[in-house]
A = this chain, B = another copy of it.
Amino acid sequence: MDSIRKMAEKAKAASNALATLASPERKGVLLKIADTLVQRADEITSANVKDVAAAKKKGLSNAMIDRLILDDQRIETMAAGIREIAGQPDPVGEIVRMWTRPNGLQVGKMRIPLGVVGIIYESRPNVTADAAALCIKSGNAVLLRGGSEALESNLAIGRIIQGALKEKGLSENAVQVIPIANREAIFELVQLEDLVDLIIPRGGEGLIRFVVENSKIPVIKHYKGVCHVFVDETADLDMATAICINAKVQRPGVCNAMETLLVHEGIAKAFLPGMVKKFRDLGVEIRGCEKTLALCPGDVVPATEADWPTEYLDLILAVRVVANIDEAISHITTYGSAHTESIVTKDYANAQAFLKRVNSSVVLVNASTRFSDGQQLGLGAEIGISTTKLHAFGPMGAQDLTTTKFIIYGEGQVRPA
């Protein structure tokens, strides 16, 4: 077996060919991968059966086992996702802008791949196919290190993708699944500063902190989503209700679900009792500030300081009544995670102030926080969400796996002293 360094060296060598692939070729490779995954679905499902059996033996929860399972239907969905990525505009080679200097030099910025990307993730094996497709789309070679539970499935998907690459005359080293699923493998990978250009960890906070603390390579990370909705004094009550229900209840276990509801005190009496009643009917536990408790007696348990920065990922909601937009923004700045925040308002100035002053990765007016997603925002499939500001901030698509170089057209110019 190759060492991880050796795998990274091969990935780097493969990345050059990938970077200079013409757009239709890149598309052809992705379509070929999608077709091959469906044709060789049996290989994936029989590898997956082993993973699932081992997971059951280890006593993993039903939810975790469900995430692990790959059947023909799910493989078809995986292939459809890759076909969609294939159809999106090609980021590589795009000239972002161009300007002319007083000395006649034409200066432009052209998108190029990063080179080699390392993706470190936990249980879901479909990430293997998704991440590989996004990296190929953006011209990058990729090293994939998935969780131990899904190792057999990941290796099978990797083999099939490599087969498709080979059939298209490309190096199979462009997509490699690391066959070791322990922390040492991660540690070794994140030391390879000279070979790997970016590390994206996807998973629990423990995994991400381990990567950040040990990596010599830049890391794009996503710790948590403590998302807020602020219902302003002038909000349309029906709109606010619909947005709050969508943001909290539609899928409470994801990072763009609302965790804290802030309500302007001028509308709290008209809005909160009905809203809280609806949430209770939907099975949501409400943890409120004193004013919320007073307005909705019997339906609310008292919130403590520990509730404000908490990402419940569950049917629990913290609620606070605030004096005005300043107090709302100050609460978000103090307790938020810079992920996604929304204001519901009819007031033009407050809408603009919220958009300008809240520096989270996604800031919305009169829309659900659930739109904070690469697909929903029109980026195509999502490689991750960044809650730090370097390189990318918020949902990331294939374009965010590129950088820009300066290209300069001259006519013999030299620099004066």
Chain A contacts to B: CB under 8 angstroms? 16, 19-20, 93, 99, 101, 105, 107, 110, 112-115, 193, 197-198, 212-213, 216, 218-219, 236, 239, 242-243, 245-247, 250, 333, 351, 355-357, 359-368, 370-372, 376-378, 388-395, 403-415, 417
Contacts and interface: CB of A to CB of B under 8 A. Distances in A.
A246 B372 CA distance: 50
A367 B413 contact: yes
B393 A390 contact: no
A390 B198 contact: yes
Please provide the 9 A-B residue pairs with the shortest distance between their CB atoms, ordered closest to farther.
A367-B410, A246-B414, A370-B415, A389-B403, A239-B412, A391-B391, A366-B410, A218-B390, A364-B408
Contacts of A403: 389-390, 392-393
Contacts of A197: 388-390
Contacts of A371: 105, 408, 410, 413, 415
B239 A377 contact: no
Contacts of A110: 355-356
B408 A362 contact: yes
Given A99-B378, A368-B413, A407-B363, A389 B105 contact: no
Contact of A366 (B250, B361, B392, B412): B412
Contacts of A415: 246, 250, 368, 370-371, 376
A366 B99 contact: no
A408 B333 contact: no
A372 B351 CA distance: 42
Contacts of A392: 403
Given A356-B93, A367-B412, A393 B388 contact: no
Most buried by B among A193, A362, A404, A408: A408
Given A362-B406, A367-B105, A378-B99, A250 B417 contact: yes
19 contacts: A20-B356, A93-B356, A99-B378, A101-B378, A107-B377, A110-B356, A242-B414, A355-B407, A360-B405, A362-B405, A362-B406, A364-B408, A365-B409, A366-B410, A366-B411, A368-B413, A391-B391, A393-B404, A394-B405
A188 to B, nearest CB: 16
A365 B405 contact: no
Given A212-B193, A356-B93, A370-B414, A408 B365 contact: yes
B372 A406 contact: yes
A259 B363 CA distance: 48
A397 to B, nearest CB: 12
A115 B356 CA distance: 15
Contacts of A394: 405-406
A365 B410 contact: yes
A28 to B, nearest CB: 19
Contact of A213 (B216, B218, B404, B414): B216
A411 to B, nearest CB: 6
A43 to B, nearest CB: 33
Contacts of A405: 359-363, 393-394
B193 A389 contact: no
Given A105-B367, A105-B371, A412 B243 contact: yes
Contacts of A359: 19, 112-113, 115, 405
A406 B406 CA distance: 25
A273 B291 CA distance: 87
A325 to B, nearest CB: 13
